[in-house]
Amino acid sequence: MSTGPSGAGRKGLRRLGLLLGLLLLLAAHAVTGWAEEPPRVLIEATEFTFNPKAVTVPAGDVVFVVQNRGIIEHNFVVETSGEEPVEVAVIPVLAPRETEELPVTLQPGRYRLLCALPGHTEAGMVAELTVTP
């Protein structure tokens, strides 16, 4: 009838459980970060193309993981598409067999991914990027 010592103990246990749950939640956030992990987009560069040739991602943070699977040096440029392209992000040099990550925050719109070494874009090292709202 009365809660007595055992009732108080149960209440204490419940509080402890809540505290533990909160601590676990905090620990999980410390490991993964408060925000969701940004999507990772794998891009393969070879002579003279990118795979895939078209990519669609949601607006916000994205990480391009660019692998040079070719036998010569390449680079990787994200730029706006249109009359006067604006460079958004760059990996200046990708040695053969090298992989680099390029984190970038994107607004909705159309972009181009390209290798800007002389002649490489023209030879086919270009892909379309669509960023959806």
CA distance 61 to 66: 16
Q: How far is the CB of 65 from Cu ion (least distance, A)?
A: 17
Cβ(113)–Cβ(131) below 8 Å:
no
Single residue of 115, 126, 127, 129 touching Cu ion by CB under 5 A:
115
> How many degrees, rounded to 5, is the angle at CA 40 between CA 38 and CA 43?
150
Residue type, 3: T
Interface segment toward Cu ion; rule CB under 5 A; list 8-16, 82-90, 98-106, 123-131 = 123-131
What is the size of the binding site for Cu ion (CB under 5 A)? Answer: 5
CA dihedral for 45, 90, 61, 24, sign (positive or negative): positive
Q: Is 125 in the site for Cu ion (CB under 5 A)?
A: yes
Say whether residue 68 binds Cu ion (CB under 5 A). no
User: What is the spatial distance between Cα 35 and Cα 129, in angstroms, rounded to a whole number?
Assistant: 24
User: Is 113 a binder of Cu ion (CB under 5 A)?
Assistant: no
Q: Is 120 in the site for Cu ion (CB under 5 A)?
A: yes
Question: If binding is defined by CB under 5 A, does position 43 make contact with Cu ion?
Answer: no
Select from 57, 74, 76, 91 the one that contacts Cu ion (CB under 5 A): 74
Amino acid (one-letter) located at 27 = A
What DSSP character marks residue 97?
A: T
Binding site residues, Cu ion, CB under 5 A:
74, 115, 117, 120, 125
